[in-house]
Chains A and B, each alone.
Chain A
Amino acid sequence: GAVVSQHPSRVICKSGTSVKIECRSLDFQATTMFWYRQFPKQSLMLMATSNEGSKATYEQGVEKDKFLINHASLTLSTLTVTSAHPEDSSFYICSPASGGETDTQYFGPGTRLTVL
C-alpha cells in the first residue's frame, strides 16, 4: 500500500502555543488531503479537506482560524493547531488521496497531541 508519514508522532505542548503537524505521501501525489481527529474511545471525525494549491474546506464546527491547513505541494500537507488548549488534545490523522475512481485511500500513522 501507499506510504504515508506524519511528523511528529507525538507532541506535548503548553497551552497557548502553536503546533505544526506534517503529513507526507511518500510514493504518490496527493491532490486531496483529508485531516481527521480522534478523541479517546471515539471514531475518527473529519475536520477538513484540502486540495493542492487551494484553501481548505472545513467541516461544521471546526474553526478554520484555529486549525490552519496548508497543502502547498502534492506530497506535503501541514496542519497547524494555533493557540492550543487542553481540549485540543487528540489524535490527528491525515489521509492523502489521489482521486482515482478505485484508488485505495490510505491514512497516516497519526500524531498524538497533548496540550498541558
Chain B
Amino acid sequence: LAKTTQPISMDSYEGQEVNITCSHNNIATNDYITWYQQFPSQGPRFIIQGYKTKVTNEVASLFIPADRKSSTLSLPRVSLSDTAVYYCLPRGSGGYNKLIFGAGTRLAVHP
C-alpha cells in the first residue's frame, strides 16, 4: 500500500479556501484516492474519492494531477465546524479495500 505524506497541521480562518495536499508517490495503478474527515471521538467520515483529474461534490473538490503522485483536497469557504483531522488514503479497487491511515492533517479554523 502506498505511503502518504500530509502536513501535520494547518491553520485557516472562517470564509477562506483551504487546500490540503497529500503526496502518494508509490500509488498503485488501480488505487483510488479517498479523503476522510474525523472529529474528536467520532469515526472518520467520507468526504470525497477520485481516480484522476478533478472531482467535486457538495462538500469539497479533489484535484489529482496526471501522474497521480499527489492529490489536493480543496475546502471552499471553511467554517469553524470544519476544524477536524483530514486523512488522505489510497484505496485499492476490488473486494479487499484495506485502508491504512497515516497521521493526517489537523486543520484548525479560527474566527
Interface residues of A, Cβ cutoff 8 Å to B: 1, 4, 6, 31-32, 34, 36, 43-46, 49, 91, 93, 95, 97, 99-110, 112
Q: Judging by beta carbons under 8 Å apart, are B32 and A102 in contact?
A: yes
Q: Judging by beta carbons under 8 Å apart, are A43 and B32 in contact?
A: no
Q: Which of B59-93 contact A (CB under 8 A)?
A: 87, 91, 93
> Is B10 part of the binding interface, using a Cβ–Cβ cutoff of 8 Å?
no
Majority DSSP secondary structure for residues of A touching B = loop
Q: Judging by beta carbons under 8 Å apart, are A46 and B98 in contact?
A: yes
Apart from A43-B103, A46-B98, 11 more pairs, CB < 8 Å: A1-B46, A6-B43, A31-B95, A32-B96, A43-B104, A44-B101, A46-B101, A103-B97, A105-B34, A107-B36, A112-B41
> Is B42 part of the binding interface, using a Cβ–Cβ cutoff of 8 Å?
yes
In angstroms, Cα B32 to Cα A108, docked, is: 21
In angstroms, Cα B97 to Cα A107, docked, is: 13
> Is B94 part of the binding interface, using a Cβ–Cβ cutoff of 8 Å?
yes
Q: Which of A44, A46, A99, A101 is the one whose CB lies under 8 Å from B44?
A: A44
Q: How far is the CB of B61 from chain A (nearest CB, A)?
A: 17
